[in-house]
Amino acid sequence: MSVVEIPQAMAYAVIAGVDPVYGIYASIIQGVLGALLSSSEHLTTGPTNTQSLLIASSVTVVMRSAEVPDPESYYLLLVFTLTVMKGFIQLMFWALRFGELVQFISRSVLLGVASGAAILIVSGQMASFLGISRSSALTEDPTLFGVSRDIVGLLPRLHEVNPVAVLLGLLTIGITVGARQINRFIPGALIGVVLSAGLVAAFDLSVPVLGKIQQGFPHFQPPVLDIHVWQQLLPGALALALLGGIESVAIAKTIAARSGEKIIPNQEFFAQGFKNAVTGFFQCIPGSASFTRSALDYEAGAATRFAAVLNAIFVGIIFLLFSDYARFIPYAALGGVLFVVAWGLLDLRYFLRVYRADRSDAVVFAVTFLSTILLPLQYAVFIGIFLNIAFYLRTSSRLHIAEMVQTDTGTFFERPIYDKQSGERKVIFVQIEGELFFALADQLRDQLTSIQRSSVRVVVIRLKRCHSIDATILDVLENFVKDMQKTRRHVLLCGVKPEISRVLRDYGLDRLIGPENIFPAEAGVFSSARRALMRARILVGSSIDVSNIKVDDEGEITYEI
C-alpha cells in the first residue's frame, strides 16, 4: 500500500501548492496517529484530493492580500496554520458530539464536491501535463476562481506546450490504467512515475521536474498567531473540518459494511481533529481519510489498524532511501497520476440516476458540482450542505396528522381530518406522526384550532408514532388543552411511549390534561387507543352497551364505538 501512497501524497501536495515532501510528512505522521485513534481497523489517513484543493483555494485568497518579503515561506506557514485550525474545529465538533449529525449530509453533497474536484484537478494540472510552468500559467485576476481561473491563465501559454512532457504524462496514465486492468494491487502509479523519472535522468529530457526536495525529518513549526489571518482562513478551515469529518465517517462506514466493524462517528471526528491539531505543528498539510488506500488496506487482508501504521513507517523508509532521486520526477507524470484519480472521482452517472429518482437530491448534486468548479471551493462545500439541510427541513416540516376512523369490524383506517364523509362528531380520534419540532408548530396549531371551532367535545390524540416533542409543540398542545377546558371539553392522549411521557411530565402537561386522560402505549395494536375511546364515550355521557365490550386472553379490552 505504501507504494500506492507515495506518488499520491506527492501529487496531492502539488495540488495544495507545496513541496511534495510535505505530503510525505502528512502521510507518515497522520497515517500513524489516524490509524491508532480511529474506531475503524482499516481507515488510512493522509493527504487527499479534495482536501488539497481546499488548501490551495483557502490559502490563495489570503495570499492575494498579503504583503510579505518571502511569499513561498509564508504560503507554507499558512498551510500549517490551516492544519492546526482544522484540527481544533474538528475537536470542537467532537466535544459537542456533532459526529452523529453527519447522517444529515447526503451522498449527493459528497459526490457533487468530488465530481467538481475532478474537473478542478484536470484544469489545475493541465499546465503541468502539457509541460508548461505552473507559475507562469496562473492568472492573478482576483475575480476568477476554479476552472475559469485555470483556463484564463493557460490559454495564452498554449504555444509553450512541451511534447516530451505530454508523452511522459500519457505514458504514466497508460501504465497506471493498464496495471489496474491486470491487478489492482500492482502499483501502476508508482511504476509510471519511476519510469518517467528514469527516462528523464537517462536521456536528460528537457521537461519541468520536481528538482531537489527537502530531505530529513519535519521540525517544530508554530502556526501564525495573527487573529486577522485566522479570520481569513476560518471559512477554509471550517470547510476542511466538515468535509474531512464527513468523508472519514462515510469511508469508515463503507468499509465497515463489509468488515462488520462498529464505527463510532464522533470518535472519527476526535481522531481526525487530534491528528491535524498535532501534526500542524510539525509541517504537515491538512489530511483526511482516503477511500482508495483504506479499501486497498482491507482488500489486501489487513486484520488490524497496525497495518496502516506499518504502511506509514514504510512510506518514511522509502522516502529516506530514495528521496534524492525524486528530483527527476516530471510534473507531467504526477499530472498523469492525478488525471487517473480525477477520472475515478467523476460520477455524473449518479446525477442521471438520482435525477430520475429524487429531484431534490439531483438539485443538491448539480448545484454543489457547479459551485465547486466556479466558486471558491470552501463556499461550494457550505452551499451543498446548506441545500441538503434545507431540503431535509422542507420534507421533515410537513405535519403528518390524520383522523382515525373505526370500521364495523373494529379496525381503523386513516382519512384527512374533516373529510366530507365524517360529518359532525362528539368524539374525534386523530393520529400525529414523526418528529414534532418547532417547524411544525404553525401547522399543528391551525389543525387544532379547526377542531376546537367544531362541535367536537372530546379529542383523542394518538402519539404512538411520535418520536420526540420539543418545547414549542408542547406549548401549542398546552394552549389547545386550556382552550378546550374553558368550554368544558376534553383532550385525551393515547399511545404515549415512556420517553414522550417523561417529556409531558417534565413540562407539566400531564397535570393539566389529567393522569386519567393519558393512556400509555401498550403491546397490543391500538390497545391504548381503545381504552381512550371508551374514556371519551364516558366523558360525552354516551351510554355504553356492555355486550359490546370484549376482553381477550391477554386482558386487552376492546369496545366498538
Domain extents in the chain: 2-394, 400-559
CB-CB contact of 327 with 207 (8 Å) = no
Q: Is the pLDDT reported for residue 317 higher than 60? A: yes
CB-CB contact of 187 with 4 (8 Å) = yes
From the CB of residue 544, how many other CB atoms can be counted at a distance below 10 Å? 12
Global confidence as pTM? 0.75
If you average pLDDT over each of 101-115, 227-241, 335-349, which comes out highest? 227-241
Lowest mean pLDDT among 248-252, 326-330, 340-344, 390-394: 390-394
DSSP string, 363-413: HHHHHHHHHHHHS-HHHHHHHHHHHHHHHHHHHHTS-EEEEEEE-TTS-EE
Q: Are strands 288-289 and 490-496 parallel, antiparallel or unpaired?
A: unpaired
User: What band does 561 get if pLDDT is binned at 50, 70 and 90?
Assistant: very low
Dmax (CA) for the chain in angstroms is 105
Q: Which three cell numbers stand for residue 337?
A: 497520476
CA distances from 65 to 71, 83, 227, 237, 241 (A): 11, 20, 15, 18, 24
Report the candidate in 518, 26, 66 with the shortest Cα–Cα distance to residue 272: 26
Distance, CA of 153 to CA of 127 (rounded, Å): 9
Segment 62-85, tens digit of pLDDT? 888 878 888 889 999 999 999 999
**Average pLDDT for 393-400:** 82
More confident residue, 409 or 239: 239
Dihedral pair phi/psi, residue 395, rounded to 5°:
-70, -45
Segment 215-270, tens digit of pLDDT? 778 889 999 989 999 999 999 999 999 999 988 988 888 888 778 888 898 999 99
The CATH number of the domain covering residues in 400-559: 3.30.750.24
Percent of the chain exceeding pLDDT 90 equals: 44
What are residue 559's DSSP bridge partners?
A: 549
Distance, CA of 126 to CA of 339 (rounded, Å): 9
Q: Which three cell numbers stand for residue 270?
A: 476526535
CB-CB contact of 140 with 111 (8 Å) = no
Element (H, E) at 466: strand 466-469
Element (H, E) at 28: helix 20-37
CA distances from 400 to 63, 403, 433, 440, 500 (A): 52, 11, 5, 9, 17
Q: Are strands 490-496 and 458-462 parallel, antiparallel or unpaired?
A: parallel
Q: Is the pLDDT reported for residue 548 higher than 60? A: no
What are residue 523's DSSP bridge partners?
A: none
* Residue recorded with cell 400509555: 520
